[in-house]
Homo-oligomer: A and B are copies of this chain.
């Protein structure tokens, strides 16, 4: 980016009331970390809530405090950009269960020690409850739109379905209304990799004095590697890496990272452990696996939107095999059945699921046009 880096302007809201959860418990003292950009107008009707993905956070525009890298959607959000902060008051909040400032398993429980695996299992709807509580605190009765890709799209669907008066529009990118068996399978591999790591200590790895506080870094790296493959397309991997060797002329006949793809994956795994909490990975993948919007509404997806008056836009990518186009189409059919206005486009992009984060000019136009 040629623009000057935007400094961290995170704010943290502590909720006054306990947050009720789908699991039946409620969570007291919940903190929600968020950032905002652009000005809320007098009518308070120009707010756009951006929901982040599994390993994302509220640093949608500001630099990431741990990696120093630009925000994850700077290409989409800013003055004159598709989500135009000259027009909109943009809000992005870290989901509960995460580890970037909102309450999650690494946060202190009432006894002062980290929650660890005592943290309640949460759902996508619970994350959305956190967002709605934030909107309440900010005095925003109704969003101009809720926007999200991947798990962010699940939150957008859940907000439009379960809090229908809270948004006038929902933009759902590369997402799904329910996790498939294959989606669950990949997440389960990651969870087992984390839990198999002896440094996981049943999730109780935070106390430096007792366990060294190292955490299950190797298991988390393996989990990230497995997941990362699902974010990219086979074609994209072939174009980007193929069978090219890494800094060598010939195969070594050993177990070093001979191939660029091996080196790349190892780097992805290792660098992830420096910025993400393993227990948060367990809890958020669980929330995604539990997500089935139809099931929450009597088994019929159209029922989920019965009370909604929002307009919708669904976007899928032709090379996304994690949440393929059929999943978006499934949502479109339900919205049609519910009689709601919906536009739908499958975009062509080589990057697989990660296309929603990358340079896809057609996506920019769709987002700008819809908002």
**Is A266 in contact with chain B by the CB < 8 A criterion?**
yes
Known contacts A186-B229, A251-B290; A181/B261 CB under 8 A? yes
CA A41 to CA B186, docked complex, whole Å:
50
CA A236 to CA B295, docked complex, whole Å:
21
Q: Which of A42-50, A67-75, A136-144, A188-196 contacts B (4 or more CB under 8 A)?
A: A188-196
Contacting pair A189 B265 (CB below 8 A): yes
Contacting pair B188 A225 (CB below 8 A): yes
Contacting pair B269 A192 (CB below 8 A): yes
CA A226 to CA B225, docked complex, whole Å:
11
Measured CB to CB, the closest approach of chain B to A268, in angstroms, equals: 10
Give the number of times this chain occurs in the complex, counting copies.
2
Tell me the interface secondary structure of chain A in the complex. Answer: helix
With an 8 Å Cβ cutoff, the count of chain A residues facing the other chain is 56
Known contacts A178-B243, A188-B265; A23/B221 CB under 8 A? no
Known contacts A198-B198, A222-B192, A266-B192; A259/B289 CB under 8 A? yes
**Which B residues touch A229, using CB under 8 A?**
182, 185-186, 189
23 CB < 8 A contacts A-B: A23-B253, A178-B243, A180-B242, A181-B238, A181-B241, A181-B261, A182-B232, A182-B237, A182-B238, A184-B259, A184-B261, A184-B262, A185-B229, A189-B229, A189-B265, A191-B255, A192-B221, A193-B222, A196-B218, A196-B219, A222-B222, A243-B292, A255-B282
Query: Chain A residues in contact with chain B, CB under 8 A?
Result: 22-24, 117, 120-121, 178-182, 184-186, 188-189, 191-193, 195-198, 218-219, 221-222, 225-226, 229, 232, 234, 237-238, 240-243, 251, 253-255, 257, 259, 261-262, 265-266, 269, 282, 286, 289-290, 292, 295, 321
